[in-house]
């Protein structure tokens, strides 16, 4: 088995090289996922970098990122595979004018040329290195999780008409992300390493801002991080994500702001918060003016 990472520190350094600042817990789990060949269940609030971690791992390992976006109602046809029914029907209509035996027709239409691969099967069959991201797995019904178990355990899938299809490459790094909207099954959790990513501490978020917005100076990055930390401490519907912190920092630079004054916060609070009730509450608690209509 070829090892992707030399050590936990190697993971940290390589992730930093693509502007993903991982703490020792994150790097340690990524390292073990490679060595133990186990998927990683990554939980935490929306916007803390769970999906970005998968993208960063794909980039540093030179792997193709295959993403299965989960949603309510996701089924086998959208996650694993389905048959091209229109193409099958055309073939049946063509064979009606021949003496073809039905068994021959059936074996023909349930063969590779008529198979439509979806993300999970695509990852299994890939000839190139893969990072598989199963995003927001908590959005699917608990019954749908059963579709994932064979893939996560043995990295294979059983298709009744074709048999068992196994991966023919190094086992990919698999990340499942969850925003904790529901409890996942024990069967799924048993198959995974576990990683929780939370909002970063203020100094770490400041460092992230400086890495992702290199033109910002230290003083402004410090002010941005402090304000965001204060807002996250409030009882609001949706706390600002890391990406929204970065967007706010860029917004301040685009507007030529060198200092985070109450007036500046009032003008740009909509970049951080996406619910009017949250904006109203933040204005009140931060004692900033109402600047409705401002940029």
CB 273 within 8 A of CB 284: no
* 213-255 pLDDT per residue, tens: 999 999 999 999 999 999 999 999 999 999 999 999 999 999 9
Task: Give the N- to C-terminal CA distance of the chain in Å, as an integer.
Answer: 55
Are 190 and 53 in contact by the 8 Å Cβ rule? The answer is no
* Whole-structure pTM value: 0.85
User: Which among 273, 258, 263 is positioned nearest to 224, based on CA atoms?
Assistant: 258
State the CB neighbour count (10 A cutoff) for residue 192: 19
pLDDT tens for residues 176-196? 999 888 888 899 999 999 999
pLDDT band of 20, cuts 50, 70, 90: very high
What is the number of other CB atoms lying within 10 angstroms of the CB of residue 253?
A: 15
- Residue 2 lies inside a defined structural domain of this protein: no
Which percentage of the chain shows pLDDT scores above 90?
Answer: 64
Which range marks the domain in which residue 267 is found? 202-285
Same domain (yes/no): 113, 214: no
At 144, which CATH number? 3.40.50.300
pLDDT of residue 295: 43
Encoded tokens for 116: 């439509």
Residues 275 and 165 in one domain: no
Rounded to 5°, angle at Cα 173 from 247 and 204: 35
| 292 belongs to a structural domain | no
Give the three-state DSSP class for 55. Answer: helix
pLDDT of residue 99: 65
**Span 51-105, pLDDT tens digits:** 999 999 999 999 999 999 999 988 888 888 888 888 878 877 777 766 666 667 7
Looking at the domain assignment, is residue 253 inside a domain?
A: yes
Residues 266 and 158 in one domain: no
Do 178 and 42 lie in one domain? The reply is yes
Round to whole Å and give the CA distance between 236 and 282.
Answer: 8
Partner residues linked to 64 by β-bridges? 130
Are residues 180 and 145 part of one domain?
A: yes
Measured between alpha carbons, how far is 65 from 46 in angstroms, rounded to an integer? 20
267 Cβ contact partners less than 8 Å away, ≥ 6 residues apart? 255, 291, 294, 295
The 3-state DSSP class for residue 52 equals helix
Under 8 Å CB-to-CB from 231, ≥6 apart: which residues? 239, 240, 272, 273, 282, 286
pLDDT, tens digit, for every residue of 217-226? 999 999 999 9
Q: At what angle do helices 242-254 and 202-212 cross, to 10 degrees?
A: 50
């Amino acid at each position: 088995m070829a090892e992707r990472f030399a050590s936990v520190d190697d993971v940290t350094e390589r992730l930093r090289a693509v502007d993903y600042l991982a703490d020792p817990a994150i790097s340690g789990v990524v390292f073990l996922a490679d060595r133990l060949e186990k998927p990683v269940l990554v939980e935490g609030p929306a916007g803390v970098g769970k999906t970005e971690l998968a993208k960063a791992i794909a980039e540093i390992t030179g792997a193709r990122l295959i993403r299965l976006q989960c949603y309510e109602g996701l089924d086998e046809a959208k996650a694993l595979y389905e048959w091209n029914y229109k193409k099958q029907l055309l073939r049946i209509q063509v064979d009606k004018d021949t003496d073809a035996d039905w068994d021959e027709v059936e074996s023909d239409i349930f063969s590779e040329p008529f198979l439509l691969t979806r993300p999970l099967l695509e990852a299994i069959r890939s000839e190139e290195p893969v990072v598989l991201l199963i995003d927001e797995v908590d959005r699917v019904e608990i019954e749908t999780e059963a579709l994932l178990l064979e893939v996560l355990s043995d990295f294979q899938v059983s298709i009744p008409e074709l048999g068992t299809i196994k991966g023919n490459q190094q086992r990919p790094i698999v990340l499942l992300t969850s925003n904790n909207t529901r409890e996942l099954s024990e069967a799924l959790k048993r198959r995974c390493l576990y990683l929780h990513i939370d909002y970063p501490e203020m100094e770490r978020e400041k460092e992230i801002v400086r890495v992702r917005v290199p033109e910002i100076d230290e003083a402004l990055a410090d002010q941005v991080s402090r304000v965001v930390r204060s807002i996250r401490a409030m009882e609001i519907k949706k706390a600002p994500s890391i990406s929204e912190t970065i967007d706010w920092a860029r917004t301040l630079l685009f507007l030529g702001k060198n200092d985070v004054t109450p007036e500046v916060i009032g003008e740009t609070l909509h970049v951080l918060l996406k619910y009017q009730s949250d904006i109203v509450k933040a204005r009140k608690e931060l004692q900033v003016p109402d600047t409705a209509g401002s940029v």
